[in-house]
Amino acid sequence: MPAKPKVPGLIKGLGVTMGTMFRTAKNGANTVQYPHVKETPPVRARGVIALREDNCTACMLCARSCPDWCIYIEAHKQLAPPRRAGGKPRQVNHLDRFDIDYALCMYCGICVEVCPFDALFWSPEYEYSEPHIADLLHDKSKLGEWMETVPEAPELEAGAQKK
């Protein structure tokens, strides 16, 4: 049990609120005035998923591992010019459609994690709310635009071991 306080709790409580008031007046508030001032989210923050289209092979791993099936991929096979002169033309998957429906997405990050070709990245960007829910379906060009906002992966804490 705590010792009986010498100052009555009623007075102490008034002191706390008054103290906070002066601290706010002196040091400024703990809040930020959002549209004018913005907080920078941490580097790892899961804001929006960016797509590097060149890396995607339409392997469908992300679409299959998504817990709420919000990734839509369509692709067709086409022949690409051979790597070496005189070689046979290669058969590649060309991405027709890569949509993520952010109205469904739970921001779990499994798709980014399973992608074997480093085509998906997290960006901490968060300001993409829309008046119409259908506009939350980002197609591959929009997802590609997010690539500019993807930060470098942070350095790790001491004692960490690279995988």
Alpha-carbon gap, residue 32 to 39, rounded angstroms: 8
Least distance to another protein, CB of residue 49, Å: 12
Neighbours of 138 (CB within 10 A): 23
129 binds another protein (CB under 8 A): no
Restricted to residues 76-95, the positions that interact with another protein (CB under 8 A) are none
Least distance to another protein, CB of residue 8, Å: 7
Q: Which two tokens stand for residue 163?
A: 């995988």
108 binds another protein (CB under 8 A): yes
Residue 10: exposed, middle, or buried by beta-carbon count in 10 A (0-12, 13-18, 19+)?
exposed
Least distance to another protein, CB of residue 118, Å: 15
Q: Which of 3, 33, 81, 127 binds another protein (CB under 8 A)?
A: 33
Q: Which of 79, 110, 133, 147 binds another protein (CB under 8 A)?
A: 110
Residue type, 59: C
Per the DSSP assignment, residues forming a β-bridge with 93 are: 77
Alpha-carbon gap, residue 117 to 97, rounded angstroms: 17
148 binds another protein (CB under 8 A): no
13 binds another protein (CB under 8 A): yes
Q: What is the enclosing helix (H) or strand (E) of 15?
A: helix 9-27
29 binds another protein (CB under 8 A): yes
Q: Tell me how many residues contact another protein (CB under 8 A).
A: 45
